[in-house]
Amino acid sequence: MRTVDIIEKKRDGKVLGSEEIKFLLEEYLKGNIPDYQISAFLMSVYFQGMTEEELKYFTTEMINSGDIVEFSGTHKFLVDKHSTGGVGDKTTIALAPILAALGMGTAKLSGKGLGHTGGTIDKFESIKGFKFSETKEELIKLVTETGIGIMGYSDKIVPLDKKLYSLRDVTATVSSIPLIASSIMSKKLAVYADAIILDVKVGTGAFMKNYEEAKKLAETMYKLGKQFDRKIACMLTNMDEPLGNAVGNSLEVIEAIETVKGRGPKEFQDLVITISAQALKMKGDVATMEEGKRKVIEILESGKALQYLKNFIKESGGDPKICDDYSLFEIAPEIMQYHAKKTGYISKILADEIGKVAMMLGAGRSKKDDIIDHSVGLIMKVKVGDYVKKDDVLLEIYHKNNLTQNIIDIVENAIEYSEIKIEKNPIIFAIIEGE
Ligand code: URA
């Protein structure tokens, strides 16, 4: 088999067989095919796409490039909820204890944040003493005992993705739907969970800015999950403005704890309840989303989910008292209140710009090795659609005397006003599930 023939076939829109895809990816991983040939192949995929069969073979090779993680012996229905990333996305922190209280388990690998979006690992590390599992055995023990198993990504899982992603990044091929779908799904499929729930974020703060493209991605990943015989649901959710009110690590964890107590910001609370109900439906515990939501609300009112969260924090080395005493979090001492420049309806709060501000304050990384500051961030006091008067407080910036005019200008440009009434954005646009 010759690499050039495979590239030519893809370039001309012909369908590749499993052996050709296997050859290409295996030999590339071994270092026997140079980057320039794979670059040409990726560009051909960018223009020609992949058939469902091709994508299945491609994803299979991705999965098989590294370790497969299975959680045998946990005796729980395991859920892996994955978000494509957004600003203020603390969903896993609130969701995992709720699922645990509902008798399910969370088993997932989470990432560190990069750029304007944060990572679950960083957020939990706002809790003093908190340490993540480092081995699969520790993770299994934790999920068995607490119902919550979260671990950082390991280089041993889908190593091919890292290699391909670096190349996609410099060859303008990141935004190819089949390449994104196989990249995300291979990492989900390599770690065994009974149900995969994908939260595909759409909007200014998301990886996918455009609804039609996001829908295509969600449908592609959904079909791929089905091809691998996995229970899967995909949600398309709003990331045109930050999720909830808090952006920044400690502030977000506090908001997630409030949500577990049933007191979270409305749209964030709705999102968490809907995902939990979806998980119950996939497990077969309820027949409808309405029934699932009622069950989730009962659990929230019982206080059980908070107990699971406390237990998880304790078993991970943190002090569970932090859930009742937020002064145990490190919070930046300086708070700047940002006031409305006009009277009117808030028509836009650009999530990517707010995420950028949080990053510039120190809450996120612009480079992989940056050290983050868990104490800084923002609290939004308004959402899109709210009516405000000039000089009302729109948001608070928690900082450590590192607030610059440039940061304030970014905030100013991120917020738009309208004299005409603006409808509130829905949090969930669509759910793809079933057959
Ligand atoms: N996230 C991933 O993991 N892979 C992609 O290709 C894009 C987003």
Domain boundaries, the chain: 3-49, 77-324, 333-418
CATH for 77-324 is: 3.40.1030.10
Instruction: Given the residues 183, 186, 276, 375, select the one marked as catalytic.
Output: 183
Which residue, judged by its Cα, is nearest atom 5 of ligand 1? 180
- Does the annotation mark 399 as catalytic? no
Euclidean distance between CA atoms 213 and 208, whole angstroms: 7
Mutate to test the pocket of ligand 1, among 180, 182, 196 (most ligand atoms within 8 A of CB): 180
State the pLDDT at residue 435. 66
b vs e for 373-388, b when ≥16 Cβ sit within 10 Å of the residue's Cβ? bbbbbbbbbbbbeeeb
Same CATH fold assignment for domains 77-324 and 333-418 = no
Tell me how far the alpha carbon of residue 337 lies from the centroid of ligand 1, in angstroms: 36
Tell me how far the alpha carbon of residue 115 lies from the centroid of ligand 1, in angstroms: 14
User: Domain 333-418 sits in which CATH superfamily?
Assistant: Pyrimidine nucleoside phosphorylase-like, C-terminal domain (3.90.1170.30)
State the pLDDT at residue 208. 92
Tell me how far the alpha carbon of residue 42 lies from the centroid of ligand 1, in angstroms: 15
State the pLDDT at residue 115. 73
Contacts of 377 (CB under 8 A, 6+ apart): 246, 247, 248, 249, 250, 251, 252, 332, 358, 361, 363, 398
Sheet containing strand 415-418, edge to edge, reads 387-388, 344-349, 415-418
Euclidean distance between CA atoms 60 and 30, whole angstroms: 17
Tell me how far the alpha carbon of residue 402 lies from the centroid of ligand 1, in angstroms: 32
Instruction: Given the residues 10, 56, 82, 281, select the one marked as catalytic.
Output: 82
Tell me how far the alpha carbon of residue 165 lies from the centroid of ligand 1, in angstroms: 8
- Does the annotation mark 187 as catalytic? yes
Euclidean distance between CA atoms 305 and 31, whole angstroms: 48
Which residue, judged by its Cα, is nearest atom 7 of ligand 1? 180
CATH for 3-49 is: 1.20.970.10
8 Å CB contact between 243 and 84 = no
Which residue, judged by its Cα, is nearest atom 1 of ligand 1? 184
What does DSSP assign to residue 234?
A: E
Long-range pairs for 362-371 at CB < 8 Å and ≥24 separation? 362/400, 362/402, 363/118, 363/247, 363/248, 363/249, 364/113, 364/114, 364/115, 364/116, 364/117, 364/118, 364/122, 365/112, 365/113, 365/114, 365/115, 366/115, 368/114
Work out which ligand 1 atom sits closest to the CA atom of 179: 6
8 Å CB contact between 198 and 431 = no
State the pLDDT at residue 53. 97
Q: Chunk the chain into consecutive blocks of 10 residues (it has 435) and report each block's average pLDDT, rounded to whole numbers.
A: 96 97 97 97 98 98 92 87 94 97 91 76 93 84 90 86 92 94 95 95 93 97 96 97 97 98 96 98 96 98 96 95 97 97 97 95 86 95 97 97 94 97 93 87
Work out which ligand 1 atom sits closest to the CA atom of 180: 6
What does DSSP assign to residue 396?
A: E
State the pLDDT at residue 15. 98
- Does the annotation mark 183 as catalytic? yes
Instruction: Given the residues 80, 89, 122, 161, select the one marked as catalytic.
Output: 161
